Structure formats: structure tokens, C-alpha cells
Amino acid sequence: MSDHTKLEVEHELEIAFQAKIDDEQKVEPKDWMPEGYRKNLIRQMSQHAHSEVIGMQPEGNWITRAPSLRRKAVLLAKVQDEAGHGLYLYSATETLGISRSQMIEALQTGTAKYASIFNYPTQTWGDMGAIGWLVDGAAICNQVSLQRTSYGPYARGMIRICKEESFHQRQGYQIMIELAHGTPAQKKMAQDSLNRFYWPSLMMFGPHDSDSAHSAKSMKWKIKRETNDDLRQKFIDQTVSQIEYLGLEHPDKALVWNEERNHYDSSDLDWDEFYSVINGNGHCNRQRIQHHIKAHEEGAWVREAMAAYKQKKQLKNATNAA
Amino acid sequence: MTTEKLELFEVFVRPKRGLDHKHVGSLHAEDKEQALEYARDVYTRRTEGISIWVVKSGDICASQEDDRESFFDPSDDKPYRHATYYPLPKEISNM
């Protein structure tokens, strides 16, 4: 086939592919797909998986210091869920032809990103409340939308994850309720956590649509179903009454209801901070990756033991068969 | 050559794009290609699906239902894994 006809065939395939997407049909692993679609998905899904895995660190920090046995059990269950969600997402990404070890390497060498929120330190127990409530809340907003993403394995993974995650936000909010309605010192702790985590939570939705490198393509291919700004607005709107109920001060002093838009108007975010953290200069970027590498290396003996055991079993089976 | 002891395959059908493959039954076949064609002939005569998986039954590793208590036990006594464990104040309607 000449290069010319090859291009023509490719073009036809792309038209058929887009028609399928426009018709709300899901794409499945063995279907033909444009290289750009595959690459875009691998980038987004692996980042999503990395976020679940790195996301265990800030909360893991408080497991041994949880204020009661019940709190400890809840936090453990939540962190355990995040590990599971990382696994679902890595596996779904592998259906696109990238290996787990390639993804881990990209994370550890910094070529792949994860949600910048996890580069903020968790300083108080109140942060466990704020993370569950705001960070998981923002993640759920995004993930609910992704249940309708065009790639079948990703969509199905999101449905499972959303179901499991339903308790994450509520347990966080419950921590906030207890602190906010507690002693003045506890209320102060809740306010401090809200103040620190509110803005980075809004940044989780990514840059403005106009500045988002991948948004337009992702929307056309229905990898993303709602834009960063729309999802962020949804989250801003729904959080207002939740802050009111806690009796805490809203961190955004410019927040005002806009009758015409039927949404809240709010302050713009500190995008310098966003890009600085994304590019590796947050409080915990180095620590998070170093910890991941350390855990991976310290687990090497388990992987070696498993391989040795498998070999031994094979040898035994071969001897028995002979 | 034996014609009596054909291999057993399990058949999974994806009813529609976007849905998981679902186990529908099994059949005998000489090899996987033949299993796929047989599965099409016997399990999708009324457009039950758009994609079929066949897997050698012997390749499936299954847990034993008799062991379910010890196998699944650790996860059933943790009500805090469910959202309903955390009552929401009635003022909050959107979480």
C-alpha cells in the first residue's frame, strides 16, 4: 500500500470512529482507534491511577494518629479503597497497550503527573476531614462525569469506583461536622483546614478551558464529558451550603450569587501556585515520589519471593509429571 | 485422534457496547477458533451480543462457595465502608 492510500484509509477509519463516538457508542480495547485518542487516554487514565496511589500518602500519614479506633478503621478502609482504585485504573489503562512498569517508571521519573492536591502536607486531623469532604468531593464530581466517558473499560471502572467512593466524602464531612460543632479550638482547626484545602481542591479540576492543552480534543472524543470550568462551577455551587451548615467562614470573600447565570461568581484561582505545584515545586512533591520509590524498592523481595515460588512449583510439577 | 473428549470452553457475551462481557454458558470445541464459531451459532442466534469471549474452562481459577465464610469474611463486618453509615443533616441535600 502506498503512503497515500494508507493515509486515505486512516482518514476513513477516523471518520467512522468519530461517527461511533458521536452516536454515544463506547470504544472497546480491540477496536481501531486514532493514535491520538489512545495517547490522550493513556495520559489521563494513568494520571488518574497515579493520583489514587499517591493519594494514599497524605492520609496514610494520619492512620497511626487517628483520635479513636473507629476513626482509624474508617481511615484505613478509605486508604485501602484508594489502593484498589489505583489497581482498577492501572489495569484498565493496560488494555491500551502500555505496561504497568512503564507507567510506574513514568511516575517515578516525573514524566507522568498526578493530582497536584497531594503535594500539600496534612498538618492536622482537621485535614482528614477537609480531604474527604473537599478533595474526594471534587474527585467524585469529576468521576461521576467520567462514568460516561467514551472508553468502555474506563467508564466501567469509574462506575465501580464511584459506588465504592460514596462513603469517602461523607466520612470527611462527618469529621468536619464534629470539629466545627465542637470546642472553639476544634472549630478553629476545622476553619484552618477548610482555608488551606478549599483553593487547591478547586485547582483539581485543572486549568481554565481556554488554557487546557488537551480539553478540546478530549471533549470531541468524549473522553471528557464536561469541561474543567463547568465541573469546577458545579463543585463551587454545591459546596456553599455545606460550608454554611458547618457554620464556618467561606474562604472566598468575593463569592456572590449571580441570578442571571444561576451560579455563584467567585474569585479566580492562584494559577501561579497551580503551575508551580504541578511542575514539582509544591511542599511535598519530592517526598511523595521518594516515598513511592522507597516503597517500591522495599517490596522487591516480595516480588522475588513470588517468582522463586512459582519456579519451584513448576519444577515440582515437572518432576511429578516425569 | 480422539473425537470424544473435546475441550470444554466457557462463553462470555457482551450484549452491547459499553457493557461487560457476561457469562452465558459453555460448549465443547476442538480449539478456540472453533469455540468462537460454535458460541456464535448457539448463544447469539437472536442478536444477543456484539462480541464474544471464549476461555478454556480449565483455565478458570474459581473460589469455592463452601469456603465463602472464611474467604469473604473480613469484609462484611465493616459497615463504615458504606455511605449510609454516615447520616447527613437534612440541610445538606447535595452530597
Interval A58-81: pLDDT, tens: 999 999 999 999 999 999 999 999
Distance between CA atoms of residues A133 and A130, nearest Å:
5
- pLDDT score of A307: 95
Q: Which amino acid appears at position A311 of this protein?
A: Q
Q: Phi and psi dihedrals of A216, rounded to 5? A: -60, -50
- The verdict on a CB contact (< 8 Å) between A245 and B83 is no
Comparing CA positions, the residue from B9, B50, B22, B91 lying closest to residue A156 is B22
- pLDDT score of B90: 87
Per-residue buried b or exposed e for B55-94, using 16+ beta carbons within 10 Å of the residue's own CB: beeeeeeeeeeeeeeeeeeeeeeeebbebeebebeeebee
The domain that holds B22 is classified in CATH as 3.10.20.520
- The list of chain B residues with pLDDT below 50 reads none
Q: List % helix, strand, coil for chain B (3-state, nearest 5).
A: 35, 25, 45
Q: What band does A294 get if pLDDT is binned at 50, 70 and 90?
A: very high
- pLDDT score of A22: 96
- pLDDT score of B75: 66
- pLDDT score of A212: 82
Per-residue pLDDT for A164 more than 80?
A: yes
Beta bridge partners of B29: B7
Cβ-contact A9, A132 below 8 angstroms: no
Judge whether B80 lies within some domain.
Answer: no
- pLDDT score of A36: 94
Mean pLDDT to the nearest integer, A211-216 = 82
Judge whether B7 lies within some domain.
Answer: yes
Q: Which residues contact A187 (CB under 8 A, 6 or more apart)?
A: A179, A180, A181, A247, A248
> Any idea which of A1-5, A107-111, A234-238 has the lowest mean pLDDT?
A1-5
Residues of B at the A interface, defined by Cβ within 8 angstroms? 14, 17-18, 20, 51, 78, 80-83, 85-86, 88-89, 91-95
Judge whether B37 lies within some domain.
Answer: yes
Residues of A in contact with B89 (CB under 8 A): 177, 245
Q: How many folded domains does chain B comprise?
A: 1
Cβ-contact A107, A44 below 8 angstroms: no
Classify the phi-psi angles of A288: left when phi > 0, otherwise alpha if psi is within -120 to 50, otherwise beta.
alpha
pLDDT above 90 as % of chain A: 90
pTM of the model: 0.90
CA A314 to chain centre: 40
- Give the residue with greater pLDDT, A1 vs A127: A127
Report yes or no: A238 at the B interface, CB cutoff 8 Å: yes
Mean pLDDT to the nearest integer, A19-30 = 94
- The verdict on a CB contact (< 8 Å) between A173 and B83 is no
Helices H / strands E in chain B, number of each: 2, 3
ipTM of model: 0.79
CA angle A298/A304/A310 to nearest 5° reads 150
**B10 by DSSP, 3-state: which?**
strand
Distance between CA atoms of residues A99 and A217, nearest Å:
24
Mean pLDDT to the nearest integer, A45-68 = 96
Distance between CA atoms of residues B9 and B24, nearest Å:
11
Judge whether B15 lies within some domain.
Answer: yes
Judge whether B70 lies within some domain.
Answer: no
Judge whether B84 lies within some domain.
Answer: no
Q: What is the pLDDT of residues A101-147, one digit of tens each?
A: 999 999 999 999 999 999 999 999 999 999 999 999 999 999 999 99
A263-265 and B22-29 as β-strands: parallel, antiparallel, unpaired?
unpaired
Report yes or no: A25 at the B interface, CB cutoff 8 Å: yes
Q: Which residues contact A312 (CB under 8 A, 6 or more apart)?
A: none
Residues of B in contact with A169 (CB under 8 A): 95
Give the E-state strand segments of chain A in sequence order: 256-258, 263-265
Beta bridge partners of B51: B14
- The verdict on a CB contact (< 8 Å) between A170 and B20 is no
Judge whether B19 lies within some domain.
Answer: yes
- The domain containing residue B3 runs over which residues? 1-60
Judge whether B71 lies within some domain.
Answer: no
For chain A, what's the residue count? 322
Distance between CA atoms of residues A305 and A203, nearest Å:
42
Cβ-contact A121, A303 below 8 angstroms: no
